Structure 1
Amino acid sequence: MVGKTGVLIVNLGTPDSPSVPDVRKYLREFLMDGRVIDYPAIPRWMLVNLIIAPFRSPKSAKIYKELWTENGSPLKIYGEANEKQLQAALGDEYVVKLAMRYQSPSIESGLKAFQKMGLNNIIVIPFFPQYASATTGSVYEEVMRIVTKWQVIPEIKFLNYFYNHPKFVSAFAEMGKKHLEAHDYEHVIFSYHGIPARQIRKGDCTGNTCKLGSCCDSITAMNQHCYRAECFETTRLLVKELGLKEGTYTTCFQSRLGRETWIQPYTEDVVKDLAKKGIKKVLAFSPAFVADCLETTLEVGEEYKELFEENGGEHWQLVESLNDSDAWIELLVDLVKE
Structure 2
Amino acid sequence: MSSTAVILMNLGSPDSTEVKDVRKYLHEFLMDKRVIDYPYLFRKFLVDGIITRFRAPKSARAYRSIWWPEGSPLIVLTKKLQSALQAELDLPVEISMRYGNPSMKAAYDKLAAAHKDLEEVLLIPLYPHYAMSSYETAVEHAVAVHRKQKYPFRIRVLQPYFQEPAYVGALAESIRPYLKEEVDYILFSYHGVPVRHIKKGDITGHHCLQSEDCCWVHSDAHRFCYRHQVYATTRQVAQALGLTPDQYSVSFQSRLGRDEWISPYTAGELATLPSKGMKRLLVVCPAFVSDCLETLEEIAVEGKHTFMEAGGTSFTAIPCLNIHPDWVRALAGWVRAAGEEHPQWKAPAGQRKVAL
TM range (shorter): over 0.9
CA distance 1:217–1:70, change in 2 (3 Å)? same
Q: Which residue of 2 aligns with 1:194?
A: 192
**Aligned pairs for 1:87-126 within 5 A:** 87-91=86-90, 94-116=91-113, 117=115, 118-126=117-125
Query: 1:120 and 1:219 mapped to 2: Cα distance?
Result: 38
Report the secondary structure of 1:105's partner residue: coil
Aligned-partner residue type, residue 112 of structure 1: D
Query: 1:326 and 1:248 mapped to 2: Cα distance?
Result: 27
Deviation at 1:311, TM superposition (A): 1.2
Given that 1:278 and 1:312 are in contact with CA atoms closer than 8 Å, whether structure 2 keeps it comes out as no
Given that 2:174 and 2:324 are in contact with CA atoms closer than 8 Å, whether structure 1 keeps it comes out as no
Q: Which residue of 2 aligns with 1:205?
A: 203
**Aligned pairs for 1:164-179 within 5 A:** 164-179=163-178
Given that 2:290 and 2:322 are in contact with CA atoms closer than 8 Å, whether structure 1 keeps it comes out as yes
Query: 1:192 and 1:266 mapped to 2: Cα distance?
Result: 9
CA distance 1:244–1:110, change in 2 (3 Å)? same
Query: 2:221 and 2:38 mapped to 1: Cα distance?
Result: 25
TM-score, scaled to structure 2: 0.90
Query: 2:144 and 2:150 mapped to 1: Cα distance?
Result: 13
Q: CA offsets per residue over residues 68-123 of structure 1, 9 Å max, x none?
A: 011111111111111122122111xx221110111100011111223343312111
Deviation at 1:154, TM superposition (A): 2.9
Q: CA offsets per residue over residues 215-262 of structure 1, 9 Å max, x none?
A: 112564331221010000010011001111121211110011221100
Q: CA offsets per residue over residues 2-29 of structure 1, 9 Å max, x none?
A: x521211000000000110110010001
Query: 2:169 and 2:14 mapped to 1: Cα distance?
Result: 32
Q: CA offsets per residue over residues 244-294 of structure 1, 9 Å max, x none?
A: 112121111001122110011111122222112232111111000111111
Given that 1:147 and 1:153 are in contact with CA atoms closer than 8 Å, whether structure 2 keeps it comes out as no
Query: 1:330 and 1:222 mapped to 2: Cα distance?
Result: 30
Q: Which residue of 1 aligns with 2:313?
A: 314
TM-score, scaled to structure 1: 0.95
Q: Which residue of 2 aligns with 1:62?
A: 61
Q: Which residue of 1 aligns with 2:154?
A: 155
Q: Which residue of 2 aligns with 1:137?
A: 136
**Aligned pairs for 1:236-315 within 5 A:** 236-315=235-314
Report the secondary structure of 1:309's partner residue: helix
Deviation at 1:151, TM superposition (A): 4.3
Q: CA offsets per residue over residues 157-190 of structure 1, 9 Å max, x none?
A: 111211212222122212211111122x111110
Aligned-partner residue type, residue 320 of structure 2: S
Query: 1:152 and 1:271 mapped to 2: Cα distance?
Result: 48
Report the secondary structure of 1:149's partner residue: helix
Query: 2:224 and 2:65 mapped to 1: Cα distance?
Result: 35
Query: 1:309 and 1:125 mapped to 2: Cα distance?
Result: 38
Mean CA deviation greater in 42-51 or 110-119: 110-119
Query: 1:59 and 1:150 mapped to 2: Cα distance?
Result: 37
Deviation at 1:43, TM superposition (A): 0.6
Structure 2, unmatched stretches of 5+, are: 338-356
Report the secondary structure of 1:216's partner residue: coil
Residue 72 (structure 2) pairs with residue 73 (structure 1)? yes
Q: CA offsets per residue over residues 31-79 of structure 1, 9 Å max, x none?
A: 1111111111111111111111111100000000001011111111111
Please provide the CA RMSD for this pair: 1.5
Query: 2:217 and 2:327 mapped to 1: Cα distance?
Result: 26
Query: 2:218 and 2:170 mapped to 1: Cα distance?
Result: 22
